[in-house]
């Protein structure tokens, strides 16, 4: 028996109403509608997709040797906000891009994401003149043979120099697998409107002073070098004193800053607005840092993350220094990797009564007796705790148990791993 197919009432909506509906949908939502519905509403029509990312490496009017009228191109670019390049081998035509920019077709663009950016360095340079770009993300993840390639490094250096023209930027994220000299950070000097800055893959033993005037920064993420390469020279923590005027920073991530002490944290401590602090692979961090951290009284998350291979001197972290953290009354998430002798050091932090998530890693493995002691006599000191993660560099011990109101997760962590901490 067959049943008559009842057309969806959605098909009766005019294009103007579809425009109002679809701007709230994601790309996946739109794909689902195309699969299950009729094509009569023309769900791929330019006005209905202008809120979605446009793939420059796929759109035919950006590519070489593909015919496309200027009228049709204008329809696709009208009110477009997001551009993305995701294919290193895409034959993007720089002449077409330059023409479209000169005619103002890309003036509405506010967000740009470029993967394998060394392959599109010239395109990024062209895009750097867009008047309304607010967010720029440049990612270059090459294979090990490419990381030391001089030509690639030169292309990246020319590209970041061009970024200095993008004075409308509010968020900048650059992550590269080679290491670019910090001398190239001069491009930051004119980006006064930046609120969010993330740099991975720069040699920060030079160039930090170029961030001195970024006084609107609310989020600052700095990594000295990257996973593949640690620069020969350490960051001079005195250079961080150039950042004394950055008084609006609420989220701070410092990675690979060896020999960090209270001097390096002076620009950010004391602070009544700092919400999130991560100190990662700062392997020779001085115990005086803890006193400075304790003065960030509004912190909600604190992550001190090292690996088993970092050269950590646990003697730098004695009981009288841990107690400074008890002044952070609203701290909800805490990570302490390879800076505690054993679980008993946690007793020095019993003033953190708002703590909800605790992540810990010890040099020595925890036996059953130590685990029972932790659960019975130490965890009750943290009345709001609901999640405990115990990390180890030993494989084969990933499992979860429940002890009262606390979920306890055993996980593996090695250098370079990205793990959930919040």
Scanning the structure block, which residue is given the tokens 């970092």? Answer: 310
| 230 and 141 both lie in a single domain | yes
Tokens of 394: 């030993």
Number of domains the chain contains: 2
End of a domain among 307, 332, 357?
357
Spatial neighbors of 375 by CB under 8 A, at least 6 apart, are 403, 406, 408
Whether 163 is covered by a domain: the verdict is yes
Whether 195 is covered by a domain: the verdict is yes
Whether 420 is covered by a domain: the verdict is no
The rounded distance, in Å, linking the Cα atoms of 166 and 135 is 10
Which DSSP state fits 152? H
| 132 and 273 both lie in a single domain | yes
pLDDT given for residue 3 in this prediction: 45
| 131 and 164 both lie in a single domain | yes
For the purposes of burial, counting CB atoms within 10 Å of the CB of 277, is it exposed (0-12), middle (13-18) or buried (19 or more)?
A: buried
| 61 and 210 both lie in a single domain | yes
Letter string b/e over residues 349-364, b meaning 16 or more CB atoms within 10 A of that residue's CB: bebbeebbbbbbbbee
The rounded distance, in Å, linking the Cα atoms of 320 and 344 is 14
| 26 and 126 both lie in a single domain | no
Q: Strand runs (DSSP E) across 267-326, as ranges?
A: 276-280, 301-305
| 18 and 144 both lie in a single domain | no
pLDDT given for residue 353 in this prediction: 96
Per-residue pLDDT of the chain (422 residues; tens, 9 = 90+): 444 544 555 555 565 655 555 565 666 665 555 444 444 444 456 777 777 889 999 999 999 988 888 998 998 899 999 999 999 999 999 999 999 999 999 999 999 999 999 999 999 999 999 999 999 999 998 665 565 678 888 899 999 999 999 999 999 999 998 899 999 999 999 999 999 999 999 999 999 999 999 999 999 999 999 877 788 899 999 999 999 999 999 999 999 998 888 999 999 999 999 999 999 998 888 888 999 999 999 999 999 998 888 877 777 777 788 999 999 999 999 999 999 988 999 999 999 999 999 999 998 888 899 999 999 999 999 999 999 999 988 776 788 999 999 999 998 887 666 777 87
| 317 and 184 both lie in a single domain | yes
Whether 409 is covered by a domain: the verdict is no
| 157 and 240 both lie in a single domain | yes
Whether 399 is covered by a domain: the verdict is no
Whether 78 is covered by a domain: the verdict is yes
Tokens of 324: 């400074």
| 43 and 146 both lie in a single domain | no
pLDDT given for residue 26 in this prediction: 65
| 45 and 172 both lie in a single domain | no
Scanning the structure block, which residue is given the tokens 């491009």? Answer: 187
Whether 261 is covered by a domain: the verdict is yes
Q: Strand runs (DSSP E) across 79-146, as ranges?
A: 82-85, 111-115, 135-140
Which domain range does residue 30 map to?
8-52
End of a domain among 326, 357, 388?
357
Residue 3, SS3?
coil
Letter string b/e over residues 366-395, b meaning 16 or more CB atoms within 10 A of that residue's CB: beeeebebbbeebbeebeebebbbbbbbee
The rounded distance, in Å, linking the Cα atoms of 382 and 115 is 43
For the purposes of burial, counting CB atoms within 10 Å of the CB of 96, is it exposed (0-12), middle (13-18) or buried (19 or more)?
A: middle
End of a domain among 301, 327, 357?
357
Spatial neighbors of 256 by CB under 8 A, at least 6 apart, are 223, 224, 225, 230, 235, 280, 281, 282
| 23 and 120 both lie in a single domain | no
Alpha helices in 171-287 (DSSP H): 262-265
| 232 and 311 both lie in a single domain | yes
Q: What is the dihedral of CA 239, 243, 249, 252, to 10 degrees?
A: 0
**CATH number of domain containing 293:** 3.80.10.10
pLDDT given for residue 419 in this prediction: 72
Whether 297 is covered by a domain: the verdict is yes
């Amino acid at each position: 028996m067959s049943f008559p197919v009842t057309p969806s009432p959605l098909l009766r909506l005019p294009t103007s109403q579809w425009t109002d509906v679809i701007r709230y949908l994601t790309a996946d939502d739109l794909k689902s509608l195309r699969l299950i519905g009729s094509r009569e509403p023309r769900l791929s029509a330019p006005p209905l997709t202008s809120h979605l990312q446009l793939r420059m490496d796929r759109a035919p009017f950006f590519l070489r040797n593909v015919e496309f009228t200027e009228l049709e191109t204008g329809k696709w670019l009208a009110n477009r906000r997001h551009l993305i390049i995701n294919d290193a081998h895409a034959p993007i035509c720089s002449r077409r891009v330059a023409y479209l920019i000169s005619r103002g077709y890309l003036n509405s663009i506010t967000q740009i994401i470029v993967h394998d950016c060394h392959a599109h360095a010239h395109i990024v340079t062209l895009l750097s003149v867009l008047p309304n770009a607010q967010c720029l993300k440049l990612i270059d993840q090459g294979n090990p043979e490419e990381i030391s390639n001089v030509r690639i490094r030169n292309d990246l250096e020319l590209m970041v120099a061009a970024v200095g023209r993008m004075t409308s930027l509010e968020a900048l994220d650059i992550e590269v697998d080679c290491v670019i000299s910090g001398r190239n950070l001069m491009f930051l000097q004119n980006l006064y409107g930046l609120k969010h800055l993330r740099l991975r893959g720069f040699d920060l033993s030079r160039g930090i002073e170029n961030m001195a005037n970024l006084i609107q920064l609310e989020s600052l993420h700095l990594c000295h070098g990257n996973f593949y390469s640690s620069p020969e020279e350490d960051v001079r923590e005195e250079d961080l004193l150039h950042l004394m005027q950055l008084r609006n920073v609420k989220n701070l991530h410092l990675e690979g800053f060896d020999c960090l002490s209270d001097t390096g944290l002076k620009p950010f401590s004391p602070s009544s607005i700092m919400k999130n602090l991560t100190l990662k692979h700062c392997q020779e961090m001085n115990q005086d840092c803890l006193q400075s951290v304790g003065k960030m009284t509004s912190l909600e998350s604190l992550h001190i993350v090292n690996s088993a291979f970092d050269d950590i001197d646990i003697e730098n972290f004695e009981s009288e220094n841990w107690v400074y953290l008890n002044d952070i009354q609203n701290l909800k998430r805490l990570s302490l990797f390879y800076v505690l002798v054993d679980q008993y050091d946690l007793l020095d932090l019993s003033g953190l009564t708002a703590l909800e998530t605790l992540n810990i890693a010890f040099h020595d493995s925890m036996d059953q007796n130590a685990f029972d002691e932790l659960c019975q006599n130490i965890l009750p000191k943290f009345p709001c705790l609901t999640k405990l993660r115990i990390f180890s560099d030993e494989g084969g011990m990933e499992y979860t148990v429940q002890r009262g109101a606390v979920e306890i997760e055993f996980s593996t962590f090695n250098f370079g791993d990205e793990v959930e901490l919040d």
